[in-house]
Amino acid sequence: MTRYDFIVIGSGPAGRRAAIQAAKLGRDVLVVEKGRRVGGVSVHTGTIPSKTLRETVLNLTGWRERGFYGSAYRVKKDIDAKDLMARLHMTLDHEVDVLEHQFARNKVQTMNGMGRFIDPHTIEITMGNGDLRHVEGEKVLIAVGTRPYRPADVPFNGRTVLDSDEIVEIPQLPRSLCVVGGGVIGVEYATIFSALDVSVALVESRASFLEFIDHELIEDFTHQLRDRGMAIRFGSKVDRIEFENDRPVTILANGRRVRSDMLLYAAGRVGATDSLNLDACGLTPDERGRLKVDPGTFQTDVPHIYCAGDAIGFPSLASTSMEQGRIAACHAFNIPMPPAPDYFPYGIYSVPEISTVGMSEEEVRKRGIPYECGVARFRETSRGHIMGLNTGMMKMIFSLKTKRLLGVHIVGEGATELVHIGQAVLNLHGTLDYFIENTFNYPTLAEAYKIAALDAWNRMGIA
């Protein structure tokens, strides 16, 4: 039996960052990946495919230029699934190549097969040809990610009723799409297909969606979606799904029927831990297949076994998963780590983008902090006008007592890039003065920071 210092099960963001970190510490590392190629869900069915699809759609449709040239403007008149898949496969090949090179450069060994625990230190790997291999690890990281939640009463068929893993490989574009689930994944795909001029209906059982985002931002976002014709059904539970002439019909509890060419069921994901034989190592997942960990070290209840990434639940971001994997590897081999920053950015790659860092206005109120807000519209910036933007906003929240920045919330073009300025100032405990006193490149969308700060300054009545 081969022994390793560190065995990582899964090669997504958490797994690969942990493996490379441990290798840089001089440890013998093995990555076990059940897929045919390394990269995990993030590379093959999640983060990279959905963001590549989004970028391809925005480019081919000319979405970003419609502010000047009108809603009928197109870069390519007839867009089909092959156009989307071509760029997707090129991107995935590149991502896999980069990752394989990183593993090779750092002498990380990989094994393709399904891993399961035999005992707390021993992993049995079922290879593609059916052969069994046994390996032993001093430390183990579980980084298996998640898979789509597939209720038994949803008639998935891989053709007209799909989950979020299957949607990235559709053979043809639908004329209409019903998306069930108003979480991050559902909203991203709903808005991407809407940008393709597919008729989209989004069904969400709750009274709103993306409830962890500042509510004023969501109001602006929802208005934009409805303004371009998307049907949003809040407070509507799905009673059942039937077929009429081979087309799915989503029947809601209130009796409403939503007909579409295709249905995407995106109401949640579950940890892909059921194949790990966790009983053999003394771990028990929750009802959604997730494992409980110490939030500072990512140790499970079994001290030498760690878990990171989507398999531990919120925030389920590739960016945070990478940091979790790195922290777990450092802790496993007694490398001291500084405390994590107070705030990390959250990015939603919808059309338009949403990104946020720090406290929302609702959180500030709940904590009883006296505050003031400043708002900037992208159309108020010269760069926004040059780009033809007629939507997009930035909202900044400041403490009235200390002038400290409390939160930055952005919806619109480039939101996931712009938010990092706010992230830096927030984690460095910066104040309103930074934005008032410093010069920003002109013309840029980043000028929105100064506009929003001056708006807050005026509201605060500072002399």
Average pLDDT for 101-109: 96
Q: What is the mean pLDDT of residues 52-72?
A: 91
pLDDT at 130 > cutoff 90:
no
The answer as to CATH 3.30.390.30 being correct for domain 346-460 is yes
Single pTM value for the model: 0.94
Q: What's the CATH architecture for 161-267?
A: 3-Layer(bba) Sandwich (3.50)
pLDDT confidence of 45, banded at 50, 70, 90?
confident
pLDDT recorded at residue 70: 87
SS3 of the chain: the string is CEEEEEEEECCCHHHHHHHHHHHHCCCCEEEEECCCCCCHHHHHCCHHHHHHHHHHHHHHHCHHHHHHHCCCCCCCCCCCHHHHHHHHHHHHHHHHHHHHHHHHHCCCEEEEEEEEEEECCEEEEEECCCCEEEEEEEEEEECCCEEECCCCCCCCCCCCEEECCCHHHCCCCCCEEEEECCCHHHHHHHHHHHHCCCEEEEEECCCCCCCCCCHHHHHHHHHHHHHCCCEEEECCCEEEEEEECCEEEEEECCCCEEECCEEEECCCEEECCCCCCHHHHCCCCCCCCCCCCCCCCCECCCCCEEECHHHHCCCCCHHHHHHHHHHHHHHHCCCCCCCCCCCCCEEECCCCCEEEEECCHHHHHHCCCCEEEEEEEHHHCHHHHHHCCCCCEEEEEEECCCCEEEEEEEECCCHHHHHHHHHHHHHCCCEHHHHHHCCCCCCCCCHHHHHHHHHHHHHHCCC
pLDDT above 90 coverage of the chain, percent: 89
pLDDT of residue 101: 96
Q: Is the pLDDT of residue 340 over 80?
A: no
Average of pLDDT values for 166-176? 93
Mean pLDDT of the chain: 95
Do 2-148+270-332 and 161-267 fold alike per CATH? Answer: yes
> Average pLDDT, stretch 378-388?
93
Give residue 181's pLDDT: 96
Domain ranges of the chain: 2-148+270-332, 161-267, 346-460
Instruction: Give the pLDDT confidence of 431-457 residue by residue, as tens digits.
Output: 999 999 999 999 999 999 999 999 999
Residue 414 has pLDDT above 90, yes or no: yes
What value does the mean pLDDT take over residues 105-117?
Answer: 96
Least confident of 59-73, 195-209, 343-357: 59-73
pLDDT in tens, 283-318: 999 999 999 999 999 999 999 999 999 999 989 999
Q: Does residue 462 register a pLDDT over 80?
A: no
pLDDT of residue 36: 83
Domain range 2-148+270-332, its CATH number among 3.30.465.10, 3.50.50.60, 3.40.50.10490, 3.40.190.10? 3.50.50.60
- Residue 463 pLDDT > 70, yes or no? no
Task: Give me the pLDDT at residue 339, please.
Answer: 79
Q: Over the stretch 188-203, which tens digit does the pLDDT of each residue have?
A: 999 999 999 999 999 9
